[in-house]
Amino acid sequence: MMETMLRTQILFLCLLLLGFCHAATSWKPLFGGPGATLSLRLYHLFILCTTIMLVTDLLGWLFDGVEGRAVHGLLLTIHTIYYAVHALPTICYILYAELLLYQNPQRLRRWKVPLMTLSGLLALAAIATPVTGWFFYIDAQNVYSRGTWFIGYAVVQFLLLGASLIPLIGAARKSTARTYWTLVFFPVIAFAGGLLQSLAYGLVLIWPVTTVFLVAAALNIQKDQIGIDHLTGISNRLLFDEMLEHYLHMQPTFGCILMDLDGFKHINDTLGHDAGDQALQEMARILRHTARPKDIVARYGGDEFVVLLHETTESELKNLASKIELEVAMGNQASKRQYLLSVSMGYALYDPTQCTDAMAFMAHIDASMYAQKRCKLGNRG
């Protein structure tokens, strides 16, 4: 009785914490609402799958050994759902980690076929288990027991956890230490918890461990949301400065493009602040469209924008600057707005022999940008 109460309290606490994670990061992204980034939708799907596991675990434990024909059917349903869904939280983690570390949705394609195939086969086997007894069976006293294929099922789950380490290999430099080590926490601790839980039936470890990871991830998401510019939806100066410092210490080669909207004050003064906001949003859209998925696009301040390029070359910097100018020109031709967008840009690869810190690097690029702006003004004069 005491064991049941303790287990119930732990699982209820986990459900409350998942409710906090859901509320803290908003429910809308799961359904494609405002701010619905793919990584955030995967995170919310991760929460949903873990919630299903907690609820089925709790109900299976509470009704275990309770007599009655209806309870027998209920237990079969509960455990079938449990085994059918069991792999999904780990699958969500793999996709979430891959996207968070590499910022490239195209990389998810390599996981699509193997993960969907594995999930489908496990679900079909779970659905057949009430008849075959493969993963579990419920005896005449409504007591749950592990089935003939349980060990094989557990091995598959551990192999899947092992696969969840793949996105982490060699990725320490591709994100902040905070993000990377939060991601490392899940497979390592989940593997240990799952092993103990498999060896000693009745232990409740793996889903509380998963819940702790999701809480840590929620705190990271909230911190990242602080780094979002709410007018344009791109990163703000705070997040850019943090990532620039990270790149200075971790990245072998990176570059930066700094740009300023020409005539922005004139747009604000003559057409109003709504037009000015529209110009800023349009520029942010252009930068999101032209930059690579792994690049960081940020509003640097006022009418200034910046793109931080991960592992780049001088030619890639020039190509991106040219693409931005082309997109701006094409937008001016296609748009019916009352103003024309124009940008002045400065860019450079980071050279530690010339710039010893972030301030010196940005000052160097800023000087290059204003040199182009003066050149434009001189040509007009």
* Contacts (Cβ under 8 Å, ≥6 apart) of 89: 46, 49, 50, 53, 210
- Res. 380: pLDDT tops 50: yes
Candidates 26, 63, 155, 102; CA nearest to 294 is 102
Q: 237-380 — its CATH code?
A: 3.30.70.270
The pLDDT, as a whole number, for residue 28 is 52
Q: What are the tens digits of pLDDT across the range 129-161?
A: 999 999 999 999 999 999 999 999 999 999 999
* Residue of higher predicted confidence among 265 and 381: 265
Query: What are the sequence ranges of the domains in the chain?
Result: 2-226, 237-380
Q: Can you read off the two tokens belonging to residue 169?
A: 């290999």
Q: Can you read off the two tokens belonging to residue 178?
A: 């905070």
Q: Can you read off the two tokens belonging to residue 252?
A: 């072998």
Specify the pTM. Answer: 0.72
Q: Can you read off the two tokens belonging to residue 139?
A: 């005896």
Return d(Cα 292, Cα 313) in angstroms, integer: 13
Q: What are the tens digits of pLDDT across the range 297-351?
A: 999 999 999 999 988 999 999 999 999 999 999 988 887 788 889 999 999 999 8
The pairing of strands 144-146 and 136-138 is: antiparallel
Residue-wise burial string across 177-216, b where 16 or more C-beta atoms lie within 10 A, e elsewhere: eebbebbeebbebbbebbeebbeeeeebbbbbbbbbbbbb
- State which of 31-35, 117-121, 191-195 shows the largest mean pLDDT: 117-121
The pLDDT, as a whole number, for residue 353 is 85
Give the sheet arrangement for strand 304-310, strand by strand.
Answer: 296-301, 304-310, 254-261, 343-349
The CATH class for the domain spanning 2-226 reads mainly alpha
Return d(Cα 215, Cα 231) in angstroms, integer: 28
Candidates 262, 305, 258; CA nearest to 281 is 305
Q: Residue 305 phi/psi, 5° resolution?
A: -130, 160
Q: What are the tens digits of pLDDT across the range 43-60?
A: 999 999 999 999 999 999
The pLDDT, as a whole number, for residue 16 is 95
Helix or strand holding residue 127 (H, E): helix 109-132
What is the average per-residue pLDDT within 79-101?
95
Q: Is 169 exposed, middle or buried (0-12, 13-18, 19+ CB in 10 A)?
A: exposed
